[in-house]
């Protein structure tokens, strides 16, 4: 297969998610083989971050099983290199015109991969004056409910609105910028929904963008690397969006948990914030995190949700170590 024949390169990072990775790869293969445009122009990389379960064994068996229908390669690390670095390993080898980062705990629905590529190819999204460079799939929970992701343009105000729970205020909150939009349904009138940033659960972008801004920020081990990537793309002139015709089921919390996610998000934001917004803004962000964590700790403690309260207690300790 020649380089110019590869339309889409799919990259999956796995870490102790053997069964989920298998289901993900089977769903990818099913969708690719049914696609008229991708069936013979797609490649898949699985980067295993030193899993201690049967991940490598299962992936190797799938390489053999799918060898005639889909090129599948395994990159096996001897240690857990983190999400960003593992994805970058495969990005350096990928040959596709379009590149897709896909979580191992996802199930691709029919037509989703082609819909992502079509969204990036749409002429109204590639206008140099207002081009979209990052397109995320529409995420859904296993129970059929919509899974929100991303938020408005990354800023100190958006962080304040989210962390001080101002966006929860009826009527007023929906008109203020926030780092996390928690809509319960996708907009009925928008196949493509522009966002300030989108998650890396199922994130597609062009080789052109990758060659312009590079891969994920490897100084961020896990969490918030998608925020930094979207922010970097935005600074280079590309916007982000959700393609609601590209539906993917996201199991969620398969290789991590909510505590790790929240702690990692705070840590990652504090890592990239000084570069884009300066030291003074970083100090203010830290104070916002602190006040917001105190507020949430008190709230969750009062309503008897000790596990959630504990998360924000840990964030407070992490902030001022």
What's the pLDDT at 29? 95
For residue 2, what pLDDT is reported?
43
Output the CA–CA distances (angstroms, integers) from residue 274 to 142, 195, 227, 271, 296, in the order listed: 38, 23, 14, 7, 25
CA distance 212 to 179: 25
| Per-residue pLDDT, 252 | 76
Q: What would the 3-class secondary structure string for the chain be?
A: CCHHHCCEEEEEEECCCHHHHHHHHHHHHHHHHHCCCCCCCEEEEEEECCCCCCHHHHHHHHHHHCCCCCCEEEEECCCCCCHHHHHHHHHHHCCCCEEEEEECCEEECCCHHHHHHHHHHCHHHCCCCCCEEEEEEEEECCCCCECCCCECCCCHHHHHHHHCCHHHCCCCHHHCCCCCCCCCCCCCCCCEEEECECCCCEEEEEHHHHHHHCCCCCCCCCCCHHHHHHHHHHHCCCEEEEEEEEEEEECCCCCCCHHHHHHHHHHHHHHHHHHHHCHHHHHHHHHHHHHHHHHHHHHHHHCCCHHHHHHHHHHHHHHCC
C-alpha to C-alpha distances, 190 to 69, 186, 194, 195, 199, nearest whole angstrom: 34, 8, 9, 12, 18
Query: In this predicted structure, what is the pLDDT of residue 254?
Result: 42
pTM higher than 0.85: yes
The candidate with the shortest Cα–Cα distance to 68, out of 103, 22, 32, is 32
Nearest to 245 by CA among 150, 104, 88, 120: 120
The Cα diameter of the chain in Å comes to: 61
d(CA 289, CA 316): 8
pLDDT value of position 130: 58
> How far is the CA of 101 from the CAs of 54, 144, 159, 235, in angstroms?
22, 22, 26, 21
Neighbours of 199 (CB within 10 A): 23
Residue ranges, CATH 3.90.550.10, the chain: 3-148+183-251
Specify the pairing of strand 106-108 against strand 8-14.
unpaired
Other beta carbons within 10 Å of 167: 23
Q: Per-residue pLDDT tens, the chain, 321 aa: give them.
A: 444 589 999 999 999 999 999 999 999 999 999 998 998 899 999 999 999 998 889 999 999 898 888 999 999 999 999 999 999 999 999 999 999 999 999 999 999 999 999 999 885 555 454 588 999 999 999 999 999 999 999 999 999 999 999 998 888 888 899 999 888 888 877 789 999 999 999 999 999 999 999 999 999 988 999 999 999 999 999 999 999 999 999 997 444 456 778 898 999 999 999 999 999 999 999 999 999 999 999 999 999 999 889 999 999 998 987
Cα 222 to Cα 81: distance, rounded to the nearest angstrom? 10
Residue whose pair of structure tokens reads 């199922």 in the numeric block: 202
Domain 3-148+183-251 has CATH 3.40.50.300: no
Backbone angles phi, psi at 12, to 5 degrees: -125, 125
At a CB cut-off of 8 Å and minimum separation 6, what does 26 contact?
Answer: 62
Q: What angle do CA 284, 285, 290 make, to 5 degrees?
A: 95
């Amino acid at each position: 297969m020649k380089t110019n024949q590869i339309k889409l390169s799919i990259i999956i990072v796995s870490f102790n998610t053997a069964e989920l990775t298998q289901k993900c790869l089977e769903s990818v293969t099913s969708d690719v083989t049914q696609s008229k445009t991708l069936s013979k122009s797609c490649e898949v990389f699985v980067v295993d971050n030193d899993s201690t379960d049967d991940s490598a064994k299962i992936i190797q068996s799938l390489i053999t099983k799918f060898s005639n229908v889909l090129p599948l390669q395994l990159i096996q690390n001897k240690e857990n290199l983190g999400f960003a670095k593992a994805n970058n390993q495969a990005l350096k080898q990928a040959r596709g015109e379009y590149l897709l980062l896909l979580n191992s705990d996802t199930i691709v629905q029919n037509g989703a991969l082609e819909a992502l590529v079509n969204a990036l190819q749409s002429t109204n999204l590639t206008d140099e004056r207002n081009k979209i460079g990052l397109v995320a799939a529409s995420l859904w929970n296993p129970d059929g409910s919509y899974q929100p992701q991303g938020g408005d343009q990354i800023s100190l105000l958006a962080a304040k609105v989210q962390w001080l729970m101002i966006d929860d205020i009826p009527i007023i909150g929906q008109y203020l910028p926030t780092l996390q939009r928690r809509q319960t349904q996708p907009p009925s009138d928008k196949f493509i929904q522009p966002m300030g940033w989108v998650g890396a659960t199922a994130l597609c972008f062009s080789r052109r963008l990758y060659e312009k801004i590079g891969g994920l920020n490897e100084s961020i081990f896990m969490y918030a690397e998608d925020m930094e990537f979207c922010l970097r793309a935005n600074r280079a002139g590309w916007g982000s969006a959700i393609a609601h015709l590209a539906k993917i089921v996201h199991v969620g919390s398969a290789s991590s948990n909510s505590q790790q996610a929240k702690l990692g998000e705070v840590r990652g934001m504090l890592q990239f914030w000084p570069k884009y917004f300066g030291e003074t803004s970083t100090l203010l962000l830290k104070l916002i995190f602190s006040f917001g964590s105190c507020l949430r700790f008190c709230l969750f403690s009062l309503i008897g949700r000790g596990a959630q309260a504990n998360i924000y207690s840990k964030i407070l300790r992490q902030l001022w170590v």
